[in-house]
Amino acid sequence: MSLANKLSQERRARLSAERLLEQKQAELQAANRKLGKHALELSNEIVETRAEVQNVLNENQRVKSDLNVANENLEIAQRRLWHSIETIQDGFAFFNADSQMIGANNAWLAVFDGLEAVQPGVSYVEILQLLTEEGIVDIGDMAPYAWRENMLDRWQSPVPGPEVIRLWNGEYIKLIDQRGHGGDVVSLALNISETVRYEKQLKEARKRAEAASRAKSSFLANMSHEIRTPMNGVVGMAELLQDTELNEEQMLYANTIKNSGEALLVIINDVLDYSKIEAEKLVLHKDPFDLERCIHELLMLMQANARDKGLDLLVDYDFFLPTQFIGDAGRIRQVMTNLMGNAVKFTESGHVMVRVVGVHSDEEGSTQLHISIEDTGIGIPADKVGHIFGEFNQVDDERNRKFEGTGLGLAISQKLIKLMGGEIWVDSTEGEGSSFGFSITLPVAEKVERDCFRPHEGLKTALMVDDHAVNRDILQHQLEGIGIKTIACGSGAEALEHLKDKPDLVLADHNMQGMDGFELAEALSKEAPEIPIILLSSNTGSAEADPARKFVTTVLQKPVPRRELFAALQALRSVMPYAKEDEPAPGPASEASAPAPERQMRVLAAEDNKTNRLVYSKMVKSLDIDLQFAENGLEAVELYQSFDPDIVFMDISMPEMDGKVATGKIREIEQQTGRHVPVVAMTAHAMDGDEDGILAAGLDHYLTKPLKKAKIIEQIIAAKPDCARDPQAADQPAG
């Protein structure tokens, strides 16, 4: 190889080495660059990491300080909570699900008086044990184990009810335990000693108030006695005075004395009744009574007032309703008297109607009665209707002011009806009239009466004449109910036209527009003298005295009770041309042929008050009796033995020996003789309970003062023995 070749070879080799070197240098540079870049990146990362570490460190610092604050707050909250729990005066304790105490405040712990065992961890059972063993709780007569068992049962129930326990020192603690989630129990022990003491005081105050109320009632009873006794003299003497020869002026005075006396008695009775009901002293009695008759009797009493005003008094007594019920007739009568009395008082013209219907009651053998009293009077303004049942409330307006009254009647009626378990209400339209109603449920004391009456075959059609449509309707209802066909006429003239229908009977109203009842009867006596006529009159006294009375067969008092109407129809057999001969004419049963009585009845009256003795003697003046007075109980017992009376009237309050004791003595004597002379109490005591006391003392009957002539005579007649003369056989009739 040539040098040149060698040189060129070397040059080439050098060149190639140089190129390789360049390449390697380039590669090295690239690698360096990469390394530099990487180093840069690394250093950046380190910077970032350092910053992050710093952040974390900062954060950590903050969290630590927050935690410290939170812990401090928690401690404060806990301290405050405990402080509060300690501050409350009631006991407070927590228990875990295993009934172990976790903690309790001092009030709760104080009850245990420092017993070491009572500390966190103690179980409820152990606590109960300590309570009984250490005598901390007063369990009365209960056995300790029984008491603990009760308490434990309660504790373990899901929702324990509150429980009051009494501690040894007389304090009362009410336990209220609340079970929370997880079985923990929060237990509150409230000291209610003050409340219990207060309740006791209230009870005592109530007792005192009741005693005061009783004292008030007996004060009222005594007052009523004191007022009634002289009132007995006033009213009784005025009544007797009216029976004597008086000139017009004197009669006016006597009437005024009697009316004012009676009005005063009404007020006394109202006030007395009201306080009795208030004091819950009113006792309802249950006796059989005739409701229909009771209504008619009341209407009879109102008749005079109603007649003065020209009012019609009507009764619509449900035909299918029994009349005998069991209830407190006196109180029902009192309510009806008030409602009917008001209806008549507040009605100037038109009518007052008592409507009685009965609906079947759920109570076996009882009927729910609806009794309403409708009038066509002044009515009550809508804004006043709500308050008339209140005490002393009256509709105070121009029209009303002229009417007398206490405003207690409706309040008493409402209370009485409530006591009977019923309801009372009113519907009223001012200027048109009112309808007061009440409903009560009463046991029926009889079978339905309608089966009892059958008119005889001759009585098929009745002609009814009344210018009052409501009246015609009621009568029609009653007659058709017993199978008599009716022809209703509004006037006498119309009735005469209907004679062609050949009625068997005419029922005519007394007072009618145009032709009145008597004028019609006179006309009929000419045209159809064979038809019997029944005249219905609200003033039977004047009807009976009328010269035209001879034209009518029977006069009946209006409104007619069904019984009386039916009795009158029955009695017609004797006057009707087709009456059967063999049927005896109805009338009072012929007297049994008793042996001729020989002696007067002997009546003994014990009364310490001179005026009352005078009143009594005047009241029985018309009777054919032998009357003797005793002035006190001792005398009564003596006279009972020497005078041998058939009946004794006995005043209750008398000096030396009162009426009850005297009656007791008489009953003792009778134990030997085997006799029983009726003894009738005469008393001014009108309080309930008195009657029971009086009857329990051996008296048979009971009359309250002021005494009524009719009631006294009724008692005497009832006591007449066979061997005595009829005391009323003398000229003057009773009443």
Question: In the complex, which residues of this chain contact ligand ADP (CB under 6 A)?
Answer: 338, 342-343, 346, 375, 377-380, 388, 393-395, 400, 405-411, 434
Residues with Cβ < 8 Å from 256, sequence gap 6 or more? Answer: none
Residues 6+ apart with CB under 8 A from 357: 318, 321, 369, 370
Q: Which is nearer to ligand ADP, 396 or 591 (CB)?
A: 396
Classify the C-alpha dihedral 214-661-331-299 as positive or negative: negative
Q: Which is nearer to ligand ADP, 348 or 583 (CB)?
A: 348
Give the nearest distance from C-beta 282 to ligand ADP in angstroms.
17
The CB-of-380 to ligand ADP minimum distance in angstroms stands at 5
Cβ-based nearer residue to ligand ADP, 342 or 441: 342
State which residue, 409 or 706, has the beta carbon closest to ligand ADP: 409
Measured from the CB atom, is 388 or 679 closer to ligand ADP? 388
For ligand ADP, which is the closer residue by CB, 290 or 375? 375
394 vs 612, beta carbon nearer ligand ADP: 394
- Count Cα atoms within 13 angstroms, Cβ side, for 255: 7
What residues contact 712, with CB distance under 8 A and at least 6 apart?
616, 619, 620, 649, 703
Residue 384 CB, shortest distance to ligand ADP, in Å, is 7
Q: Using CA atoms, how far apart are residues 514 and 517, in angstroms rounded to an integer?
A: 10
Query: C-beta of 724: minimal distance to ligand ADP in Å?
Result: 45
* Nearest residue (CB) to ligand ADP, 271 versus 326: 271
In whole angstroms, the minimum distance from the beta carbon of 281 to ligand ADP comes to 21
Euclidean distance between CA atoms 512 and 629, whole angstroms:
53
Our CB check for ligand ADP shows the closer of 251 and 266 to be 266
Q: Are 648 and 680 in contact (CB under 8 A)?
A: yes
Q: How far is Cα 522 from Cα 528, in angstroms, rounded to an integer? A: 10
Read off the tokens for 340. 């009917």
Shortest distance, CB of residue 416 to ligand ADP, whole angstroms?
12
Structure tokens at 393: 């409330």
Shortest Å, Cβ 438 to ligand ADP = 13
d(CA 176, CA 733): 80
Dihedral angle of Cα 333, 339, 342, 344, to the nearest 10 degrees: -80
Q: State the number of CA atoms in the 13 A half-sphere of 85 facing the CB.
A: 20
Angle at 311 between CA 309 and CA 317, to 5 degrees: 155
Q: Are 508 and 525 in contact (CB under 8 A)?
A: no
Q: For ligand ADP, give the closer residue by CB, 375 or 509.
A: 375
CB of 641 to ligand ADP, least distance (A): 50
Of the pair 342, 476, the CB lying nearest ligand ADP is at 342
What whole-number distance in Å separates Cα of residue 236 and Cα of residue 705?
Answer: 10
Query: Which two three-digit tokens encode residue 594?
Result: 């008793």
Instruction: Give the nearer residue to ligand ADP in terms of CB position, either 395 or 534.
Output: 395
- CB of 436 vs ligand ADP, minimal distance in Å: 6
Least Å distance, CB 330 to ligand ADP, is 18
Q: Is 191 exposed, middle or buried (0-12, 13-18, 19+ CB in 10 A)?
A: middle
Which residue in the shown chain puts its C-beta closest to ligand ADP?
405
Task: Report yes or no: 306 and 342 within 8 Å, Cβ to Cβ.
Answer: no
- Residue closer to ligand ADP by CB (options 342, 557) is 342
Give SS3 for 704: strand
* CB closer to ligand ADP, 407 vs 586: 407
Task: Kindly calculate the radius of gyration of the chain based on its CA atoms and give it in whole angstroms.
Answer: 51
Q: How far is the CB of 466 from ligand ADP (least distance, A)?
A: 24
Among 463, 602, 597, 590, smallest CA distance to 536 is for 463
| Token representation of residue 151 | 């308490």
CA–CA gap between residue 606 and residue 666 (Å, rounded): 13
E strands present in 170-262: 172-179, 185-191
In angstroms, give the least distance from the CB of 410 to ligand ADP: 3
CB 692 within 8 A of CB 285: no
Question: Which DSSP string corresponds to 519-587?
Answer: HHHHHHHHH-TTS-EEEEES-HHHHHHSGGGGG-SEEEESSPPHHHHHHHHHHGGGTSTT--TTSPPP-
State the minimum distance, in angstroms, from the CB of residue 354 to ligand ADP. Answer: 12
Least CB distance to ligand ADP at residue 640 (A):
44
Smallest distance, ligand ADP to C-beta of residue 397, A: 8
> What DSSP character marks residue 511?
S
Dihedral sign (CA 519, 524, 525, 530): negative
Residue 371 burial by Cβ neighbours in a 10 Å radius (0-12, 13-18, 19+):
buried
CB of residue 404 to ligand ADP, shortest distance in Å: 7
Residue 632, φ and ψ in degrees, nearest 5:
-160, 180
CA distances from residue 407 to 135, 275, 394, 637 in whole angstroms, order as listed = 63, 15, 5, 46
Orientation of helix 193-242 relative to helix 248-278, angle to 10° = 160
Instruction: Tell me whether residue 94 or residue 389 sits nearer to ligand ADP (CB atom).
Output: 389
Task: Determine phi and psi for 537, rounding to 5 degrees.
Answer: -130, 145
Closer by beta carbon to ligand ADP, 185 or else 272: 272
